[in-house]
Structure 1
Amino acid sequence: MNLATHAALLGWIPVVLLLFASLPPRRALVAALVGGWLFLPVAGYDVTGYHDKHMVLSAGMLAGAVAFAPGRLAAFRPRLVDLPMTIWCAWPFVSSLANGLGAYEGGAAVLFNTARWGVPWLLGRTLLADRGGVRALAVGVLTGALVYVPLCLWEIRMSPQLHAALYGFHQHAFDQTVRWGGTFRPMVFMHHGLMVALWMAVGSILAVALWTRRTLRDVGGIGMPWIAVALVGTTVLTKSTGAVVLLAVGASVLLLADGARVRALLIVLALAAPAYMAVRLTGEAPRTAVLDAAARVASPVRLASLRFRLANEEQLAAKALERPITGWGRYGRWIAYDDQGRAATPDGFWVIALGQFGLVGLAAITAATVLPVVRLAVRLRRRRAAAPGAGPAVALGVVLALFAVDSLFNAMTNPVYFVAGGALAGVDVRSLVRRRRPAAAQGRAPAPVVVAGAALASPAGSAR
């Protein structure tokens, strides 16, 4: 690691503390979350709780919240909707003991899951679980995607070099960035090109939602129609079939459904991933049936990739179900090998969770991802679902459900999704559509938030 990498990692917590000292807690959290995820190096130290980008982010955001919003954390009261995340964070200890790995490994695994998933969830629940927090998060992610547009376009043409140029190393195998036609799949400052593609798809979905529902007029003076076109176009150019399909599904739900249908479609989207897992684990949909269906729409290259993924998925699932309740624990004990000693390649996050922590762990992290979406859909009435104030929450619900679908085939975890899950799990749905007094009547002027040079949310409906 070069000097820039050390400076970014060691200087991150002071930067976040400065954000929290300068901005309201919810806006500081969004700035730290989005800005850090976009630009921090894919690196860390061999130090507990600080050994990768996810944990660096969690450590910084938690430090800021403890220092400048301790009352919000102290006011947290667990609810039933928090139980799945609690189980996901605690279950590795049981898994470790059941596999004879000892209490030390169990404690380390608990700390890992808590730092990587539990802390983002907690911060979403405590700092963003209201109308303003949900809106700030949606606009912050949208702005972050917009900031990535020129960086993606540069790497698509010139090849993924930004991370190497600044931090001195490529964050992933370079050969996976080369795509058809002599262009490249951008990685910018994320772990993989697929992660960037999903990020741009998420930004596109949020742009469509906030534009069509008249929640936001512009970002930094750029009109929402232009922003939507730029984000959708960049998503297509990232050359990720999965991200483009998820974008099409999410945008269709938001554009074609009225209030009542949005609620139903949110539930359908949320249940799609659990349904796939159940079908695959019970063997009701053999690999050949899935491939036959995909062959009608997929190219030969995509079909070959899907065939490879499903074959490896079956091997890993069969190994996992040898210890169905607790799984095999961490450190590769859950990896399956064929008769020639070749290891199966794990792609989908769901089968990784199943192998490591069994059905209990898989059910917990799946429920933590989709229950906030179901809760939102159930509590939204028809008029509420169609209201502009509900736009950010509905859009984040669609994004979270689509992330669960993406996790069936990829392991591109991102703390933004679990901050969103925590926010949706705690928000009072009625407050999303409740009329508010103008800012002037409340005795204060709208205050903008800045992330990576772009102003974020203001109550006036513009991000300028």
Structure 2
Amino acid sequence: MLIQQGNMIALLALLGWPVVIVILFRVMPLTRALIWSILGAYMLLPQISAIDLPLIPDLNKESIPNLMAFAVCVSYWGRMPKILPDGWIGRILLVMFVVSPAVTVLTNLEPIQFGVDRFGSFRLVDPNALEIWGLPGLRIYDSGSALAQQLFFALPFFLAREALKTEEGLREILLALVIAGVIYALPMLYEVRFSPQLHIKLYGFFQHEFSQAIRQGGFRPFVFMPHGLWVAFLAFMVTMAAAARARAAPRSQAGKRLLMVLFGLGLIVLCKSMGPLTYTLIFVPVVLLLKPRVHLLIATLIALLVISYPLSRGAGLIPTEAILEQVGGLSDERQQSLEFRFTNEQRIIDHVREKPLFGWGGWGRFAVYDNATGESQSIVDGQWIITIGHYGWLGYLALFGLLALPILSMTWQGRRKGAAPVPVEASALALILAVNMLDLLPNATLIPFTWVIAGALLGFAEEMKRATDLTQRETMRRAHGRIAIGIDRGEAVAGGPRTLL
């Protein structure tokens, strides 16, 4: 079967999106076409559905737009985009991100067997099983597929770093997010009123468990995204983008743009998700009221917190029991939910200690199972623990390091002598990226558009470095020039000799 899940419309949507991308690049400027090639696919294409072809990773709503946008941009530029970041830290992180999954495959060639007990050198097999069963070992072939998959994921990062690195490119990202909120408003309202069914009606199946759509006596929208939490996080991004545009607007337009902030807040309320609503109530006032350099400081602190939290969990430095006691004082239900999450994460962390550097790989191998029955004993939601389970601590550092790099780079470049002020468009996007990283602790909301934002911000930070370097060289040249021609010699002495040199 050509398509893994979905009806003929789902297949046609996936096959037809490359045509849509070509049209976008014909009728729009390159920056805008690139943004909508990725964002539009995320908003409209079917979830889970994928075209299964031999020898290559599945072609789905993430890989198809990434590959086609890359091909069109290369054709437009007449060359490959610059792949490696300017700094050596970024280059190391990128190489680790691309290569570590391939190494993971090579360290997981052995199968995981169930129905087997071991006592020293003896192996006791379940007599009711006709053969030893379990999870297969990964194949050498899978290493090439894993490497290709990582490259597919990173393509928006490469393209945005080249095409959206200017202040105008960052404005286009913010504008696109606001327009995305307007486009999604009616589908969201429909599903809040009638239940999430657009994906069923159009593509023939529901993309998640329907019980997850029921909240507070009603429904929360899923539209064409993996889960209601993803829709809610998009609404958060829309509201933050609207706030940044309002902050950057001239006074004559600020009032109209503030209305879009209220519009975005209404979308978040519709989603009935506490996390994105909390993010919005905290960070939208930050964008509207505080200076861009404060935005960057907050984004930097969040990024460092996100990177350090899993490392601290792995080292046993997080006081989980004390946290549970504090949460229990607020809500027993929340305490039970958090305890369940902590328990499952700890099982994965303990399991990864057997393969700490490169993890256990895919096909469910990173999960914890009952040795006798093969029943899964772990449920994971956060992107950080999924990444560590799949690709180990090196894979985790590569992924989260690449996401944090643009934020840390902009903060560093903004503090250099002679650096131009960071515009609010850049600082607001840095906050959006930082909060997205924060949301990767409880959830897996890492989407292609996250890579677009990260790539654009890294490109902007690199442009900041080049501009500051040029300013410093020009300042030094002028200073040396004054000394050379005798201008900068201090105050003249009355009656002294007059010279040309």
TM range (shorter): 0.7 to 0.9
Give the root-mean-square deviation of aligned CA atoms.
2.6
Normalising by structure 2, report the TM-score. Answer: 0.79
Q: Are the aligned partners of 1:129 and 1:423 in contact in 2 as well (CA < 8 Å)?
A: yes
Return the index of the structure with the highest Cα Rg: 2
Match for residue 109 of structure 1?
A: 146
- Choose the corresponding residue for 1:133, options 147, 150, 169: 169
The range that moved more, 252-261 or 147-156, is 252-261
Residue identity in the other structure for 2:86: R
Q: Deviations over 1:354-387 (max 9, x none)?
A: 1111110000001011111111122225999996
State the partner residue of 1:53. Answer: 61
1 CA distance for matches of 2:416 and 2:438? 26
Indicate if the aligned counterparts of 1:49 and 1:56 stay in contact, CA closer than 8 A: no
Separation in 1 of the partners of 2:205 and 2:250?
A: 40
Q: Deviations over 1:4-46 (max 9, x none)?
A: 2122111111110121122221111012122111111112111
Return the letter of the residue paired with 2:189: L
Query: Does the Cα contact within 8 Å between 1:201 and 1:247 map onto a contact in 2?
Result: yes
The letter of the residue matching 2:259 is: W
Which residue number in structure 1 is paired with residue 347 of structure 2?
A: 315
**Aligned counterpart in structure 2 of residue 27 of structure 1, from 25, 32, 37:** 32
Q: Matches of 1:405 and 1:216 in 2, distance apart?
A: 33
Q: Give the partner amino acid of 1:177.
A: A
Which residue of structure 2 lines up, in the alignment, with residue 191 of structure 1?
226
Secondary structure of 2:62's counterpart equals helix
Cα distance, 1:77–1:93 mapped onto 2, change above 3 Å: closer
Q: Secondary structure at the match of 1:410?
A: coil
Q: Would you say the 8 A contact 1:82–1:368 is kept in 2? A: no
1:245 alignment partner in structure 2? 278
Of the structure 1 ranges 327-336 and 301-310, higher mean CA displacement relative to structure 2 is found in 301-310
- For 1:134, the aligned partner's letter is L
Please point out which of 47, 70, 73 is paired with 1:65: 73
- Inter-partner Cα distance in structure 1 for 2:417 and 2:295: 11
1:226 deviates by: 1.7
Does residue 412 (structure 1) correspond to residue 445 (structure 2)? The answer is yes
Q: Distance in 2 between matches of 1:342 and 1:49?
A: 26
Q: 1:212 aligns with which of 247, 271, 286?
A: 247
Q: For 2:352 and 2:207, how far apart are their aligned partners in 1? A: 29
Mapped partners of 1:281, 1:216: distance in 2: 50
Instruction: Kindly provide the amino acid, as one letter, of the partner of residue 349 in structure 1.
Output: Q
Task: Work out the CA distance in 2 between the residues paired with 1:76 and 1:21.
Answer: 25
Matched AA of 1:8: A
Q: Secondary structure at the match of 2:390?
A: helix
Distance (Å, rounded) in 2 between the aligned partners of 1:338 and 1:256: 53
Partner of 2:268: 235
State the match for 1:95 in structure 2.
Answer: 104
Residue 79 of structure 1: which of 81, 86, 105 is its match?
86
Unaligned runs of 5+ in 2: 1-5, 110-137, 469-501
1:53 aligned counterpart, secondary structure: coil
Contact 2:51 2:58 in 1 (8 A): yes
- Residues 6 and 215 of structure 1: is their aligned pair in 2 closer, same or farther, counting only changes over 3 Å? farther
Of residues 34, 38, 41, the one that matches 1:36 is 41
Cα deviations by residue, 1:31-70 (Å, 9 ceiling, x for unpaired): 2122111111112111234432211221221222123233
Per-residue deviation, residues 236-279 of structure 1 (Å, max 9, x unmatched): 22111111122233224323433443332121122121121122
- SS of the equivalent of 1:223 reads helix
Q: For 1:371, what is the secondary structure of its paired residue? A: helix
Say if 1:3 and 1:156 are closer, same or farther in 2 by CA, change over 3 A: same
Relative contact order (alpha carbons < 8 A, sep ≥ 6): 1 or 2 greater? 1
Work out the CA distance in 2 between the residues paired with 1:22 and 1:216: 31
Hey, what's the Cα distance between the residues in 1 that align with 2:246 and 2:237? 14
Return the letter of the residue paired with 2:322: A
Q: Which moved more, 1:120-129 or 1:81-90?
A: 81-90
2:357 corresponding residue in structure 1: 325
The separation in 2 between residues aligned to 1:363 and 1:420, in whole angstroms, is: 19
Q: Which residue pairs with 1:349 in the alignment?
A: 383
C-alpha change, 1:232 and 1:25, in structure 2 (3 Å) is same
Please, which runs of 5 or more residues in structure 1 have no aligned partner? 434-464
The partner residue of 1:360 within 382, 389, 394 is 394
- Cα distance, 1:329–1:209 mapped onto 2, change above 3 Å: same
Rounded Cα–Cα distance in structure 2 between residues aligned with 1:279 and 1:386:
36
User: 2:135 maps to which residue?
Assistant: none
- 1:461 is aligned to none
Q: Which moved more, 1:189-198 or 1:142-151?
A: 142-151
Aligned-pair CA distance for 1:107:
0.9
Matches of 2:353 and 2:162, distance apart in 1? 36
Match among 142, 152, 163 for residue 178 of structure 2: 142
- Counterpart position of 1:436: none
List per-residue Cα deviations over 1:331-366 (Å, max 9, x = no partner): 111101358844200111101111111110000001
Is the counterpart of residue 380 in structure 1 residue 414 in structure 2?
A: yes
- 1:224 equivalent in alignment to 2:260: no
Contact between 2:101 and 2:146, CA under 8 Å: does it hold in 1? yes
- 2:188 equivalent to 1:179: no
Q: How many residues align?
A: 426
Q: Secondary structure at the match of 1:203?
A: helix
How far has the Cα of 1:287 moved from its partner? Answer: 2.3
Asked if structure 1 preserves the Cα contact closer than 8 Å seen for 2:351 and 2:368, the reply is yes
1:324–1:358 CA contact under 8 A, matched in 2: yes
